[in-house]
Amino acid sequence: MVPQHDTITPMARTAVDIETPDGTCRATLHTPDGDGPWPGVLYYSDAGGVRETFAAMADRLAEQGFAVLLPDIYYRTPYAPFDTSTLFGDPGEFARLAALARALTPEKSDDDAGSYLATLAGRPEVAHPALGTVGYCFGGGMGLRAAGNHPGSVAATATFHGGNLAAADDPTSPHLVAGRIRAAVYVAAAADDPAFDADQHRRLRDAFDAAGVRAEIETYPAAHGFAVPDNPTHDPAADRRHQETMTTFLRTHLEP
């Protein structure tokens, strides 16, 4: 799923081992051509986990002038990669994915975030300790929680078609960390997304407003999964918008 440790590919991907409280997480650091250092971004995949599609997405962001860390969020449990083109029509594969996602509790992902951010900040390729987080789908909540739990490290956080960002009656819902967020926030929701419905939209907006968070929430006229090329619901126009908006947002808040 990721290159071997300390190898470098022609795509400027460097394999990194991240030591966490629960073991070693394999990750890749994606950097532009040329001399760094560059602003650092922690890049969370969707529920399907790390795969070539996300490595290519991290490459694409790196080309815009960032050092991008892509961790294997499911490192605790060895697993075969998922084929997202058939995943949602295959009950067995969907059940396998659901089990992995349930095992990665918010508490575990919070512990991981501290290790990921510390590793990223300590890399010589990274320019300064003010970092960004970007998350998709399942990873969107992880990015928001990382910003709330590490306000001294995260200066900008963006989510794209994030799910359950402001779930009612969930004591671990990401919107509950709004009071600790010091980062600028950008949330791109998908239209008619049951994982982030109108009630969640209002709840998240209210939480940001009450906490004084600098946050923008936009709804893209596309389905959940619009930004990830190997998803059946990928939308090229929405994907282009996501790339352009993400790059501008991160440059605004991470570059000196």
For the stretch 94-153, pLDDT in tens is 999 999 999 999 999 999 999 999 999 999 999 999 999 999 999 999 999 999 999 999
CATH superfamily of 13-254: Alpha/Beta hydrolase fold, catalytic domain (3.40.50.1820)
Domain ranges of the chain: 13-254
User: What was the pLDDT predicted at 11?
Assistant: 52
Which of 197 and 86 is assigned the larger pLDDT? Answer: 197
Is 160's pLDDT higher than 80?
Answer: yes
Cα separation of the two ends of the chain:
34
Across 72-86, 100-114, 119-133, 240-254, least confident range: 72-86
Residue range 79-86: mean pLDDT, rounded: 85
pLDDT in tens, 195-232: 999 999 999 999 999 999 999 999 999 999 999 999 99
Q: What is the pLDDT of residues 222-239, one digit of tens each?
A: 999 999 999 999 999 999
Where is pLDDT greater, at 6 or 67? 67
Closest CA to 206 of 217, 192, 220, 221: 217
**Of residues 12 and 70, more confidently modeled:** 70
Q: Confidence band (pLDDT; 50, 70, 90) for 8?
A: very low
CA-nearest of 172, 242, 193, 182 to 215 is 182
pLDDT at position 34: 86
Report residue 154's pLDDT band, with 50, 70 and 90 as the boundaries.
Answer: very high
**What pLDDT, on a 0 to 100 scale, did the predictor assign at position 89?**
84
Greatest extent of the chain over all pairs of C-alpha atoms, in Å: 48
pLDDT score of 164 more than 70:
yes
pLDDT category of residue 45 using cuts at 50, 70 and 90: very high
**Amino acid letter at 9?**
T
For the residues 71-87, what does the mean pLDDT come to? 90
Mean pLDDT, all residues of the chain: 93
Q: Judge contact between 11 and 59, C-beta under 8 A.
A: yes
**pLDDT value at residue 1:** 39
Residue 238 sits at the vertex; the CA angle it makes with 234 and 241, to the nearest 5 degrees, is 140
Residue 9 in this model has a pLDDT that exceeds 70: no
Distance CA 60, CA 85 (A): 21
How many Cα atoms are found within 13 Å in the side-chain-facing hemisphere of 65? 11
pTM of structure: 0.94
